[in-house]
Amino acid sequence: MEENQVIDTVDTGIVIFDREYSATYWNGWMAAHTQISENEILGRSLFDFFPKLKNPRFLRSCKAVFAFGNLAFFPQDPYGYLFSMKPVEWFRSEFKFMQQSCTIGPIRGEGKEIERLFVSIRDMTEEAAYKKKLVALTLNDELTGSYNRRFLMNFLEDELYRCRRYNRPFSVIMMDIDHFKKINDTCGHPFGDEVLKLFASTVVRNMRKSNRFARYGGEEFVCVLPETDSEGGVGFAEKIRKLIEELPLSYKQSQVKITSSFGVITYTDDINDIATLMKKVDDALYKAKESGRNRVVVAN
């Protein structure tokens, strides 16, 4: 009797269902968070109330637990949630649905046969939001809000792997603001910072959603363009170059013109690692600088 009280009030959702996926138990937590009462759902299929639950992965997992008596896990990362319901703090949550970590396990009858399964559901919304924030903190550049070098290197690693595996193109642009040291020296660091921010926002505003833009160091930035060939990469670099050149900047009432230089590289299968890729694009950028700045050079 005491156990029942605990199961009904504990801050975990507990659902029990049979081989036909009909609910045979629905605890207080579930009722409270789904607005579906025990009376409504008992004896009815879970799929009547949660149609999305009827997906191959959930069904396979249940079959496996029936067959092997193991536990099947649906952790928040990567699955998000199993039972769609609003987050408790729906009015200020960044998630549309409560993030959950769920576990499915066997319930055996007297003859040791598995007759029913249970699912336990834990609310992970707050943890997921916290994790998201932490991840953002470790992967973003504080000043410009763009990704940082750590993120970039990981992303490039994945991208290179993906390209080799699925044989897809991708391009990388390395960009650098010309004579940035001089800007800092003559106009001061606060102005320099504004230039960096403006540069970053100009690129981000104009790039595709699948592109990734990161501050590589000082006044150097890198943009990764998945699914983009050399022509696309150069085109985008040219576009940014012109936009930067035309930025209406002024310091103490006098106009300040800034320019930038670009190195572009497109993946070819002789590039085996990120170090080689970065070396080549860096060389291209160096050539752009050397040959007069405010231009785009393609790596060979």
Q: Which residues bind other proteins (CB under 8 A)?
A: 56-57, 60-61, 63-64, 67-73, 75, 78-79, 158, 161-162, 165-166, 168, 210, 226-227
N residues, the chain? 300
In DSSP terms, which residues pair with 212 in a beta bridge? 224
- Report in angstroms how near the CB of residue 190 gets to other proteins at its nearest: 37
Residue closer to other proteins by CB (options 28, 80) is: 80
Site of tokens 């579906």? 36
In DSSP terms, which residues pair with 31 in a beta bridge? none
- Report in angstroms how near the CB of residue 70 gets to other proteins at its nearest: 3
How far apart are alpha carbons 123 and 88 in whole angstroms? 9
How far apart are alpha carbons 166 and 226 in whole angstroms? 12
Residue closer to other proteins by CB (options 168, 182) is: 168
Residue closer to other proteins by CB (options 28, 105) is: 105
Residue closer to other proteins by CB (options 44, 57) is: 57
- Report in angstroms how near the CB of residue 290 gets to other proteins at its nearest: 35
Q: CB burial class (10 A; 0-12, 13-18, 19+) of residue 205?
A: exposed
Residue closer to other proteins by CB (options 78, 248) is: 78
Expressed in angstroms, the distance from the first to the final Cα of the chain is 76
Structure tokens at 109: 């009858």
- The answer to whether 66 and 26 have CB atoms below 8 angstroms apart is no
In DSSP terms, which residues pair with 250 in a beta bridge? 255
- Report in angstroms how near the CB of residue 44 gets to other proteins at its nearest: 25
Dihedral pair phi/psi, residue 152, rounded to 5°:
-55, -45
How far apart are alpha carbons 188 and 200 in whole angstroms? 19
- Report in angstroms how near the CB of residue 196 gets to other proteins at its nearest: 28
Site of tokens 């050399």? 230
Residue closer to other proteins by CB (options 189, 208) is: 208
Residue closer to other proteins by CB (options 41, 72) is: 72
- Pairing of the two strands 212-217 and 296-298: unpaired
How far apart are alpha carbons 284 and 282 in whole angstroms? 5
How far apart are alpha carbons 238 and 264 in whole angstroms? 10
- Report in angstroms how near the CB of residue 207 gets to other proteins at its nearest: 15
- Report in angstroms how near the CB of residue 203 gets to other proteins at its nearest: 20
